[in-house]
Amino acid sequence: MAISQQFLNPTLFKSLASTNKNSPTPFFRLKSTSTTFNFKPLTSSSSATIITRAAASSSDSGESKSRETFHGLCFVLKDNIDTDQIIPAEYGTLIPSIPEDREKLGSFALNGLPKLYNERFVEPGEMKSKYSVIIGGDNFGCGSSREHAPVCLGAAGAKAVVAESYARIFFRNCVATGEIFPLESEVRICDECKTGDVVTIEHKEDGSSLLINHTTRKEYKLKPLGDAGPVIDAGGIFAYARKAGMIPSASSA
């Protein structure tokens, strides 16, 4: 299937066309092996060390927020989780830049899941989720282009999604907002993990990551994020551009 380069934005992405098994309508899945980015790790002028998100502890669970290690409970989903299931359209009027609205977005994260999922990602009456890692199947984040999808997951306290493949626009929104790390698995992890398993994601020096399921005592190698990693580390595309001197800082604007 031929697609115009203008539609795919050749500077940032190349897409793999596929066909949904349940629908004749084509959709597009982003594979990390076919992704092209031109972003480079940010370095400080004084120490020439890579600028990453500072390690911090969650007040609720004590989980690390640094890229090197994510640790906590996992929430397991299957294939074709769309943006309406991640955040129903009725909450699209909430504005992420307003702290109160952002908190509400987090409380509604994955509120549109079908009833076959017995567990709630965010318990009723709570604003944060107890699950720090989301594990999904194929074509995660398909549907609309709303940035509210990755924002609500980050606002709920999730640090990373590990999926078999991603919808192109969801992956791109994760990078642009810097809300959550979209990591790609080499095998179908969602069939081997269960909601509530204790997992750790460790970042390796070669750019790859390792998911360790402490409950099942199994380990899974994850694919590198490539040059998208430093953008998410910086907190999103605008934060990256400011730190790299591409655009004026917020204080000087």
Q: CB-based burial of residue 193 (10 Å sphere; 0-12 exposed, 13-18 middle, 19+ buried)?
A: buried
| Residue 85, pLDDT above cutoff 60 | yes
What gap in Å lies between CA 143 and CA 84, rounded to an integer? 7
For residue range 92-143, what is the model confidence (pLDDT) as tens digits? 999 999 999 999 999 999 999 999 999 999 999 999 999 999 999 999 999 9
Of 20 and 153, the structure prediction assigns the larger pLDDT to 153
Phi, psi angle pair for 231, to nearest 5°: -70, -45
What gap in Å lies between CA 213 and CA 221, rounded to an integer? 11
Side by side, which strands form the sheet with 16-19? 16-19, 26-30, 166-167
Please list, residue by residue across 87-110, b when 16 or more beta carbons sit within 10 angstroms of its beta carbon and e when fewer do: beeebeebebeeeeebebbbbbbb
Q: Is the separation of the CB atoms in 2 and 9 below 8 Å?
A: no
Global model pTM greater than 0.95: no
Residue 119 to residues 111, 124, 131, Cα–Cα distance (Å): 11, 11, 11
What gap in Å lies between CA 36 and CA 175, rounded to an integer? 13
The predicted pLDDT at position 205 comes to 79
The predicted pLDDT at position 253 comes to 55
State the chain's mean pLDDT as an integer. 79
What gap in Å lies between CA 62 and CA 41, rounded to an integer? 27
Number of H helices, E strands in the chain: 7, 10
The predicted pLDDT at position 203 comes to 87
The predicted pLDDT at position 4 comes to 35
Q: Is the separation of the CB atoms in 205 and 212 below 8 Å?
A: no
For residue range 205-241, what is the model confidence (pLDDT) as tens digits? 777 899 999 999 999 999 999 889 999 999 999 999 9
Residue 68 to residues 30, 32, 33, 63, 240, Cα–Cα distance (Å): 23, 19, 21, 12, 19
The predicted pLDDT at position 86 comes to 98
